[in-house]
Structure 1
Amino acid sequence: MTSLGGRRWWVLAALVVILLAVSLDLTALNIALPTLSAQLGAGTSALQWIIASYTLVSATLLIPAGLIGDRYGRKKTLLGGLALFLVGSLIATLVSSPAGLIAARTLMGIGSAAITTLAMSVLVVVFPPEERPKALGAWAAASFLGLPLGPIIGGYLLDHFWWGSIFLINIPVSAVALVLGFILIPESRAASAPRPDFAGLLLSTGGLVAMVYGTIQEDEYGWSSPGVWGVMAAGAVALVAFVAWTRHVAHPLIDLRLFADRRFTGGVVPATLLTFAMFGVLFVAPQYFQAVLATTPLGSGLRLLPLIGGLVVSSRLGAPLVKRIGPRLTIALGGLLITAGMVYGATTTAESGYGLAACWLTVAGLGMGLMLPASMNAAISALSAEQAGVGSAVVMTVRLVGGAFGAAVLGSLLSAGYRGRVDVAGLPPAAAEAARAKVGGGLAVAERLHDPRLLHSARAAFTHGMDVTLLVGAGIMMFAALLALILLPRRGADEAMGNGQSTHEYVSA
């Protein structure tokens, strides 16, 4: 809107700052997992919920947040999301239990969904078409910078302050963005917007939460427990009911007809499986650095840079490669590189040094940088102008759900692999139980008892669990590469993707 004059760049500054805070938050938290395990007494299931509560809530609310903003006012919804993110961050700095942190992360996830969805809509309203590419470029850069900065900033804060400091940075940033947004952002809403599908939201959210809950609890209680299979069965029934409801309601939460297009499905499915594996890597790698290599949180963040570096480098090469060989082969090549990296990472032992980790993380990062932009653009290319908004939200929703399941499933594999290998023979019953209770338990007990045998056993057990996790992730990525080759058409997607449009805005979406 040209009537805003130069003030619209202040609007952009406010939106970019809060987006950077949102993107920093998730990657910084992964560095804090070992610290949370030690200082909050959080076991693997609690750590999985600290991650999954945020991503699952954010994923399921992306589309409803957009519909609510269109119907009741984008500015109101965005500022409400900012306020919730601020309050959740404040609570997170004050809580002293895993349950309290999970509740705070849930609030932050609700706020994040509104911020992510509505800020893009505000940019479209505020900036005229000739200035929109520059604004969207700044928006994309903020998302992209969160990847490398999150682990480094989070590691520095953890090295110098208490664990809650990783959330403290969100408070002034959110407050400034809230004030600027209130003053500068114009209110807007759609001329006609359908009533949000709250029944569909309830069914989909309930089903997904139940499935994730069962997956996380399986490691503790086993598949035979009614609290596991019963909850997962209820979740499956809710998701089936959601699909049935979606087919008959006039304005569904998700238009399932999008998945009938092979370009859309061939892009979304590999991107979702990649997010599944990527969240698993970010769950286990920082814990490996701190538990086995005995690094500081800052050192752990710096040791993730090969993954980020590989991703950044190959994402720059992705668009030219798509023009040359097409999206099918680009996605498949990326999947094979990730597979190779994870298989190499699965050779890690307790005696392995950082050199091996740096190599497999670099190779995996190179594959991610090729695969994710090409997959996202393949999906987006299938959307008409009328479908662009809701279609993009569907892509992000499915990917974030995949991320929540990735942290849950691969985290459970890590825990199961550890518990099956840690040697607690000869320990007093209480110490033995503490050593097996959580992934880092054996290390804490070994340090307390000054037991070098248990320390070596715990580290070997951790690397075994990580190796199993990486091998499963490698299988998933091989499957993703094959699906891209099978689902994506040979010509249609290639032509749509070969028009030279930039893909960088989708790298961190």
Structure 2
Amino acid sequence: MTAPVPTSSASQRWALAAVCLGALVMPLSFTGPAVALPSLVHALHASPEALSWVTNAFMLAFGSTLLAAGGLADRHGRRRVYLWGAALFVLASLALIAAPGIGVFNLLRAAQGLGGAAILSAGAAALAQEFDGAARTRAFSFMGTSFGVGLSFGPILSGLLVAQFGWRGVFGLTALMALAAWGLGWRYLRESRDPDAGSLDWGGAFAFSAALALLTCMALRVPGAGWADRGTLGLLAGCVLSFIAFVKIELGCKRPLLDLSLFRHPPFVGVQLLAAAPAYGFVVLLILLPVRWIAVVGLDEVRAGLLMMALSGPLMVVPMLAGRLVQRFSAASLCAVGLLANAAGLAWLGHATQQADVSASVGPMLLIGAGIGLPWGLMDGLAVSVVPNERAGMAAGIFSTSRVAGEGLALAIVSAVLAGLTTYYLAAATPGEAASAGAAAQRLVAGDVAGAMTLLPSAQQAALILASGQAFAALLYVLCAVTVGTAVALYWSIGRQGRDSVKPIHALQDVSTGAVASAGACSIKEARSACGGVSR
């Protein structure tokens, strides 16, 4: 695994191709299962709670281990960690095709997340060692573009695969792509490591992962069991204790995963809020909309994938536009305007959702994607500009983790809220069977309309679809209000920075790890091992 690779422009291009191909696999692994979820309902005969982990297991494992993977790459070698991560991803993807049940399936999805964290952290670090100056910026631009391509075309590609080969086709494609990335990495990536890297903060990594996992489990349990349930309270207590342990570990660690002193800076706190905004204003829709359209509305996978391009397509253009506009307007103003546009799109989509013609959703989805594209194009630059220069690398690492972990947590919370709203509308539509409304609501949210009708035998399918649409619209209005509040808080907290202090890195954006990429574009002295190993 340590075969030397001669340095040349050709080998550098192939090394870049390896990392970009690995990056392209990640959005496919995120959006693909969402398109395939209605098929998984029938193939694996899973409960709604288990099906919710098809996405959450991947996102939770991915987000909670991103910093730890970067630390391991620093200490043990970026090429080595990249190859082990790609190998784990390939094996997990192949095993998913033959998974005997939903329990094993979700464990394998978590293994995919672990492999993905290693691929991206080590891959970004390897690029930072391979390129310098303007070439490094261009390299990370290609990496960010790979994410944009995967995000924009992932739903339609996954829809075609499901229609042609079934749900297994999605995982077969990601396995082949990751295998190709492994082969290119084995041949062309050079080994590098941080000679001054200390031991990994294993205690902090474990406590952080435990707190995030327990919080996610609690959010998924609440709709069915309620807040007074002993299991829910136990998960809440475990989450609080794990978080307290994490804080104590980090305060006493010489090289912590997370420097808590950064949270004394209000602008830095505002940037973390900005990191969460796309999670509940955009990313959750990548999962919830395909399930609703395919399972509830009755669209085929291909048409649903085509419609999703209206949501993600603007991210191919708007972030680059934001990089130009920030030369004339403050980053705080642009981010606030973008979030307000995103909120307007959410409210518009809430109205369009209740119409029979799904094409009415195209306009609001374009507005949602364009709105979130403005802060998306600036947030990585903001992440490293709101703190002192010597903390830039750590700030980028924290931002990356906040964004990725926030996506998984937001999906769990938003799904729980949607289940609660669906329960309310189902109970109103079927007053004689209100006791079964909660269980039926969870099945509707998971895309199992037949299972919901079994629990509510007196209800007509049209009534279930109407209740589902009303709940989804109410959810979008809630997300609109939250996004408006985020825009106001963001402008108040970081508006004082001024536009001259922000240096956007607009080409480095992706659905989950743009901050790791931006850290790679920072100066080597600034970027510490906490931001994916791009430190020396």
| Same-fold call, TM cutoff 0.5 | yes
Q: Offset at 1:12?
A: 1.6
Question: Which of the residues 201, 208, 213 maps onto 2:212?
Answer: 208
Q: Partner letter of residue 249 of structure 1?
A: C
Equivalent pairs: percent with the same residue? 25
Equivalent residues in 2 for 1:224-373 (5 A)? 224-348=228-352, 350-373=354-377
Is the contact made by 1:307 and 1:361 (CA closer than 8 Å) also made in structure 2?
yes
Q: Partner letter of residue 185 of structure 2?
A: G
Q: Partner letter of residue 501 of structure 2?
A: A
Q: Offset at 1:55?
A: 1.2
Structure 1 window deviating more from structure 2 (411-420 vs 341-350): it is 341-350
1:475 maps to 2:481: yes
Q: Partner letter of residue 320 of structure 2?
A: R
Aligned residue in 2 for 1:394: 398
Q: Offset at 1:122?
A: 0.8
1:461 maps to 2:464: no
Question: Which of the residues 471, 486, 492 maps onto 2:492?
Answer: 486
Q: Cα–Cα, structure 1 residues 46 and 468, in superposed 2: closer, same or farther, change >3 Å?
A: farther
1:504 maps to 2:507: yes
Question: Which of the residues 68, 71, 94 maps onto 2:72?
Answer: 68
Structure 1 window deviating more from structure 2 (369-378 vs 455-464): it is 369-378
1:3 maps to 2:2: no
Aligned residue in 1 for 2:117: 113
Structure 1's unaligned 5+ residue stretches are none
SS in 1 for 2:195: coil
SS in 2 for 1:210: helix
SS in 1 for 2:328: helix
Q: Partner letter of residue 283 of structure 1?
A: I
1:142 maps to 2:140: no
Q: Distance in 2 between matches of 1:473 and 1:114?
A: 32
Aligned residue in 2 for 1:89: 93
Is the contact made by 1:89 and 1:168 (CA closer than 8 Å) also made in structure 2?
yes
Structure 2's unaligned 5+ residue stretches are 515-536
Q: Partner letter of residue 504 of structure 1?
A: A
SS in 1 for 2:298: coil
Equivalent residues in 2 for 1:44-193 (5 A)? 44-129=48-133, 131-193=135-197
SS in 2 for 1:140: helix
Q: Distance in 2 between matches of 1:66 and 1:136?
A: 17
Q: Distance in 2 between matches of 1:195 and 1:227?
A: 36
Q: Offset at 1:447?
A: 8.5
Q: Partner letter of residue 63 of structure 2?
A: A
Q: Cα–Cα, structure 1 residues 261 and 434, in superposed 2: closer, same or farther, change >3 Å?
A: closer
Paired residues in the alignment total 504
Q: Distance in 2 between matches of 1:180 and 1:444?
A: 45
For normalisation by structure 2, the TM-score amounts to 0.87
**Structure 1 vs Structure 2 CA RMSD:** 2.7
* 1:132-157 superposed Cα distances (whole Å, 9 cap, x missing partner): 23322221211111111110110001
Equivalent residues in 2 for 1:412-431 (5 A)? 412-422=416-426, 423=429
Q: Cα–Cα, structure 1 residues 384 and 143, in superposed 2: closer, same or farther, change >3 Å?
A: farther
SS in 1 for 2:326: helix
Q: Offset at 1:163?
A: 1.0
Q: Cα–Cα, structure 1 residues 391 and 107, in superposed 2: closer, same or farther, change >3 Å?
A: same
SS in 1 for 2:327: helix
Q: Distance in 1 between matches of 2:458 and 2:223?
A: 27
Q: Distance in 2 between matches of 1:457 and 1:350?
A: 13
Q: Distance in 2 between matches of 1:79 and 1:464?
A: 47
